[in-house]
Amino acid sequence: MLSEKQFSQIRTWVYRNAREIDLNVWKFHFENGKKEDVVSALSHYQNEDGGFGNALEPDNWNPASTPYVTLYALGLLQRIGMTDTSHPIYKGIFEYLSSEKDLTDYGWRFNVPENNNYPRAPWWNYSEDANKTESIGPTCGLCAFILQNMDKTSSVYKKAETLAKQALDNLLTAKNFGDMGIGGYIGLIDALPTLNIGDYDMPALYSKINELVNASIERDVNKWQYYGVLPSTYIHSPQSPFYPANKDIVDQEINYLQETLPENGVWNISWTWFDNMESYGKEFIISENWWKSITAIEKLCFLKNFNAVKI
């Protein structure tokens, strides 16, 4: 279990280094902070078209609205329990999604051409070939949101319904899901009972997702210092349906986080901007610091949910 002293050192680091948005997320999770403060800070990343950009996702400094960064904002809202879709921040998102910007026949683009004009990690380099796979996760996530919250008579609702059905029909036979496809499918399938878009073999879908999650988790702890899928990517609490079959590896991650916490700091991230470092090395240093705050909050939420940190 992380000690009160270790929690305090992480808190100090976050207060000294985090952006306003991430500091308010910290306060919400650990200091009884208000969700309204998170929403207020998040609104500064929202563009006039209602979408999100402006390096809210720290590896992509494109200021324009993109589908993935808008989904990233939706994830923040979901995690703080902000469900009032009459709020202006949601009205803006509805407007952005209704514009169908960067919506293609295969789904919403993961990366967009404008990314190439700004500092970024290499996976944000625009590539239409990469999009056809990497778009799976964002498309599933945006479809679930639209089908749960937007006007059923709208054009974007009808297109989201078609894309969701295509994704579900492809799940049992697809071989490549991209880096975020499995997470996107989890959200879509969890929402499916409320969507009324057709009859599906739910046990088969859950069985396939369970298989994909178990296969994607890196079981070699020695490789966790490098970029890879840790159990906490999918298993956030003991209530997760994926937890019983992965209890041992979750316990190993809890121990790993305790053992690898640097003295007087927070955990390092496991990636760089690789091939883009020569062009954007200075910007990466800033991005890296932002990410360290974000991932510290994520890791502490994980530990808190498993009663593995003293607060």
pTM of the model: 0.97
What pLDDT shows up at residue 307? 98
3-state secondary structure labels for all residues of 12-72: HHHHHHCCHHHHHHHHHHHCCCCHHHHHHHHHCCECCCCCECCCCCCCECCCCCCHHHHHH
Query: Taking 90 as the threshold, does the pLDDT of residue 227 lie above it?
Result: no
Model pLDDT, residue 228: 85
247-288: per-residue pLDDT in tens? 999 999 999 999 999 999 999 999 999 999 999 999 999 999
CA distances (Å), 237 to each of 129, 308, 311, in order?
A: 36, 11, 17
Mean pLDDT to the nearest integer, 70-96: 98
Instruction: Calculate mean pLDDT across residues 294-311.
Output: 97
For the chain, percent of residues with pLDDT exceeding 70: 100
Query: Quick one: pLDDT at residue 254?
Result: 98
Report the distance separating Cα 180 and Cα 72, nearest Å.
Answer: 12
C-alpha distances out from residue 242 to 96, 173, 258, 288, Å: 34, 21, 22, 30
User: Tell me, what's the pLDDT at 112?
Assistant: 98
Who wins on pLDDT, 4 or 196? 4
Rounded distance between C-alpha atoms, residue 257 and residue 239, angstroms: 20
pLDDT in tens, 151-198: 999 999 999 999 999 999 999 998 899 999 999 999 999 999 999 899
Q: What per-residue confidence (pLDDT) applies to 215?
A: 96
Question: Per-residue pLDDT for 219 more than 90?
Answer: yes
Helical pair 67-79 and 35-43, crossing angle rounded to 10 deg: 170
Residue 196 is predicted with a pLDDT of 87
Give the mean pLDDT of the chain: 97
The per-residue pLDDT for 75 is 98
